[in-house]
Chains A and B, each alone.
Chain A
């Protein structure tokens, strides 16, 4: 308990004192995970919407794949992305390994199925009758999709929170593809692992608390958007 108190104190000191390294690590965590989440929306929302509305043979299989993907183990993603980005790998020529871009890529792969799966569920929970009514009123296909997305925006913001929560908290993939390089690819989770390994438990606790605070602030903002008109 005493250790946690010390950690809390140190977290405050680091943040208030403006420790530049800690700020850099926190900022990178936010930048990498927010970018990955935004990109996962670009892929996940259209894909999830399409899957929710389309009917084709093998659809059940594809949906099962997406649902499995919602629980993709970050270490597995990290391993495969690392191999692909190796100098000897398929995309080795891009020299992306051990850069924040590589971390964004890995996190995108982790977040995209989550956003896709939850978008799919969100659109599907809009009653069938509503859809038919819209079509009966002469809505074009684009209007239909837009109205459905608007109708499903509450659960879809939950999808954003789930996606962001998954990537900001993962450590396996970031450690592997980023390399935990000081000043370059060190984020809150990988720094926590490192400080624990070094035996600096108070610093590790401080970093954990900063991570929790960051997650809370982001979710608070998202919740505010989600509940805005009702709260």
Chain B
């Protein structure tokens, strides 16, 4: 009891910072690094705050962690991109009301001289099989991010179980992983947005693209209030609704055009998984 009182006194002393907004006014969104690294959140967050009058805290982590936090009730809503994993959380009842927001796509990039000869292959699965067969260097995120989860799905489909020294796990974000792949002249799987953002630093061209399994679909899910004592249900729903609102979707549609000459995401509010099979 005494220790606890000490902690409280300590915290009270420390509380020089302005008091946090009261619970119902703050929404915690756990999301992936790509939405932050691409700069999309920097545009959407102020819009949401202005529209809803709530303040928003975005926690940008890998999709695996974003969903794990939400499942513990540490967030109110998620914006993630790992459909299979998301469906598992839905089935467990941890997350509610999954709605598709937007997509972009993954591409396989690699060194210009293409030692595994994958350029021109249309199926991503065939391409990764060739990389494994020729033991060409491949850099994996290795961090349970949406990108990593999709990559693991490709290896599984290709029937590649064991990976040797040619398979490098960076354990870092997409940006750092691109840097490593560039230095080691290796292949890697990346989302197109980050690859575009790294044009100045990374000289690995796109070798495989536009295959169905390479679609990168983002969706919002609300957190089940049963997950924890302080889940802001209304706030979570407000953000999910905001992401699907026509005005927000219009912002997403043109996001990135000024900087990269092409949009980074395609808005798909109202569509379902069935539309992308």
Tell me which residues across on chain A come within 8 A of B58, comparing CB atoms.
179, 181-182
The answer on a CB contact under 8 Å between B11 and A94 is yes
Within 8 A of A (CB), among B71-126: 72-74
Residue of B nearest to A89 (CB): B74
Interface residue from B13, B20, B229 paired with A88 (Cβ < 8 Å): B229
Interface residue from A88, A91, A97, A179 paired with B11 (Cβ < 8 Å): A91
Residue of A nearest to B36 (CB): A194
Q: Could you say which of B137-145, B196-204, B234-242 contacts chain A? A: B196-204
**Nearest Cβ distance between residue A77 and chain B, in whole angstroms?**
14
Q: How far is the CA of A108 from the CA of B58 in the complex (A)?
A: 25
Within 8 A of B (CB), among A174-210: 179-182, 184, 194, 196-199, 201
The answer on a CB contact under 8 Å between B11 and A96 is yes
The answer on a CB contact under 8 Å between A87 and B197 is no
Instruction: Determine if B233 is an interface residue (Cβ-Cβ < 8 Å).
Output: no
Interface 1/0 per residue, B54-67 and A, CB below 8 Å:
00011110000000
* Chain B interface SS verdict (over half): mixed
Within 8 A of A (CB), among B197-252: 197-198, 200-201, 228-231
Interface 1/0 per residue, B167-202 and A, CB below 8 Å:
000000111101100000000000000000110110
Q: How far is the CA of A35 from the CA of B15 in the complex (A)?
A: 10
Instruction: Determine if B32 is an interface residue (Cβ-Cβ < 8 Å).
Output: no
Tell me which residues across on chain A come within 8 A of B39, comparing CB atoms.
198
With contacts defined as CB atoms under 8 Å apart, how many contacts are there between chain A and chain B in the complex?
A: 82
Interface residue from A87, A181, A197 paired with B73 (Cβ < 8 Å): A87
Instruction: Determine if B147 is an interface residue (Cβ-Cβ < 8 Å).
Output: no
The answer on a CB contact under 8 Å between A104 and B57 is no
**Nearest Cβ distance between residue B66 and chain A, in whole angstroms?**
12
**Nearest Cβ distance between residue A31 and chain B, in whole angstroms?**
8
Q: How many residues of A contact B (CB 8 A)?
A: 30
Interface residue from B23, B45, B175 paired with A95 (Cβ < 8 Å): B23
Q: A86-B74, A179-B59 are in contact. Are A199 and B11 (CB under 8 A)?
A: no
Q: How far is the CA of A39 from the CA of B36 in the complex (A)?
A: 33
The answer on a CB contact under 8 Å between A87 and B57 is no
- Which B residues have a C-beta under 8 Å from some C-beta of A? 4, 7, 10-11, 13-17, 20, 23, 26, 28, 33, 36-37, 39, 42, 45, 57-60, 72-74, 173-176, 178-179, 197-198, 200-201, 228-231
- Which A residues have a C-beta under 8 Å from some C-beta of B? 35, 39, 86-88, 90-92, 94-101, 104-105, 108, 179-182, 184, 194, 196-199, 201
